[in-house]
Copies of this chain bind each other. A is one copy, B any other.
């Protein structure tokens, strides 16, 4: 059995940003030498997500607007912000979008559908964050 662990680092310019990380994950798959197996990609933070969707600029705007409707920034709305934080909304947004994806590796490559792209979803950015990629297979 082969395994490989890699930590990707991100520091987004904006507080909320959706970053396409597909190529970086593909590179880890190649480095691992795994031909058949599973690839876990997860945020190591609780105010950001890893998710799979479409690389289309309009849709990325739609996601941001929609998440703001479902879980508004509104600093005074949340008890968590009494700790001095202002990021309660980011904890909620991340639950909608998810923490992680698990992707099949087939024939040495990520076994993704035609339009599937992997994103790091940052909801409390402008500081250093990490994404973990774990490969396991043969």
Interface residues of A (CB under 8 A from B): 1, 3, 5, 36-38, 40, 42-46, 51-54, 56-59, 61-63, 66, 70-71, 78-83, 88, 91-92, 94-104, 106, 111-116, 130, 132, 134, 136-138
Distance in Å: Cβ of A73 to nearest Cβ of chain B: 13
| Contact (Cβ within 8 A) A46 B38 | no
Count of this chain's copies in the oligomeric assembly: 3
* Docked pose: A1 CA to B136 CA in angstroms: 11
Residues of B within 8 A of A112 (CB): 44
Residues of B within 8 A of A103 (CB): 42
Query: Which of B5, B57, B70, B136 is within 8 Å of A111, CB to CB?
Result: B5
Residues of B within 8 A of A53 (CB): 46, 91, 94-95
Distance in Å: Cβ of A108 to nearest Cβ of chain B: 12
What would 4 more interface pairs be, CB under 8 Å, given A38-B136, A46-B54, A66-B92?
Answer: A5-B104, A59-B78, A59-B80, A61-B79
Query: Which of B40, B101, B138 is within 8 Å of A1, CB to CB?
Result: B138
* Docked pose: A96 CA to B99 CA in angstroms: 12
Query: Which of B3, B43, B70, B104 is within 8 Å of A70, CB to CB?
Result: B70
